Every structure is written in C-alpha cells, then in structure tokens.
C-alpha cells in the first residue's frame, strides 16, 4: 500500500510544480485571467502557510512543514490497513512536498487559483485539503 501513497504523492508534486511553472511563465504577479465562471487564475506569492496565514514565517514555516512530514511518515511507518488512509496520506505528502519545494527554491509558495472572496491557492493546497478530509473521514469511520 505504500506504493499507492508514493504514486499519488509523485503525481501531486509533478502536477503542482508544472502548473506553477506555467503560471509564473504566463501570468504577471497580480494579473487576473478569467477562466470559467467565477474562477480566475492569478499569480501571488505566499510566504505563510495555507491561505497566507503566518506570512513572513520563513524558516519557522519550513521547520513546521518538515515536522508535519516526519509525523506523517511516522504514522505511515505503522502501516495503516485502510486504503483511504494511504490515498489521503499520498495527497497530503504530495501537497506538502510541492509547497516545500517552492519555499526552499524561491522562498515563497506560488498561488494562482482564485475564487471571489477567497484567498488564492494552488494544486498542492487542494491535495492537502482533500487528503485531510479523506483522512478525517477514514479515521472517524474506523473509530465507530
């Protein structure tokens, strides 16, 4: 089952980094491009964690990211039996690594998906959010 998590994480990392590459190449910082309906693409730089929280955290944010990755790795080392847990872990791991690559390479995370009344985010953030929802659902289902 670890191959499931690793494969999902790899797909998330590649999709996240490729999408950010095209955004940085094709959209100026602050520019907004209409996509469909209320969805727009933009280019913003996030120095904090999700949705700009703790902006300017720098090394602290990187440290917390690494601690979260180690904690997830330790959990996975216990070998959870549930396939949804492995899927969720792959999504969370891939998203965390995708954003960590940005932090280490360019000192901020590139966000680009924009909906009205919501901070910009990226594919890594989507993967982390979906992974947390699946993990929570799976763990709560096992507890019953």
pLDDT tens string 19-69 = 999 999 999 999 999 999 999 999 999 876 555 555 555 566 667 777 877
Beta bridge partners, 40, equal 34, 114
Residue 6 has pLDDT above 70, yes or no: yes
Greater pLDDT, 103 or 27: 27
Q: Which residue has the tokens 């990392």?
A: 13
Query: How many residues are there in the chain?
Result: 144
pTM exceeding 0.85: no
Lowest-pLDDT range of 15-19, 23-27, 74-78, 108-112: 74-78
Confidence of residue 120 (pLDDT cuts 50, 70, 90): very high
Residue 80 has pLDDT above 90, yes or no: no
Half-sphere exposure of 7 (CA within 13 A, CB side): 6
Which residues are catalytically annotated?
Answer: 111, 125
Query: Encoding tokens for residue 73?
Result: 């790795």
Residue 88 has pLDDT above 90, yes or no: yes
């Amino acid at each position: 089952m670890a191959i499931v998590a690793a494969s999902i994480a790899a797909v998330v990392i590649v999709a996240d980094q490729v999408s950010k590459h095209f955004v940085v190449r094709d959209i100026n910082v602050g520019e907004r491009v209409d996509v469909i309906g209320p969805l727009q693409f933009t280019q913003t730089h996030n120095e904090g964690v999700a949705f700009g929280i703790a902006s300017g955290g720098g090394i602290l944010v990187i440290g917390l990211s690494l601690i979260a990755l180690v904690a997830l790795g330790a959990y996975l080392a216990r070998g959870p039996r549930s396939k949804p847990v492995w899927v969720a872990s792959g999504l969370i791991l891939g998203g965390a690594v995708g954003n960590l690559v940005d932090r280490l390479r360019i000192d901020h995370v590139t966000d680009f998906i924009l909906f009205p009344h919501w901070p910009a985010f990226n594919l890594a953030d989507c993967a982390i959010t979906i992974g947390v929802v699946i993990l929570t659902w799976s763990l709560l289902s096992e507890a019953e």
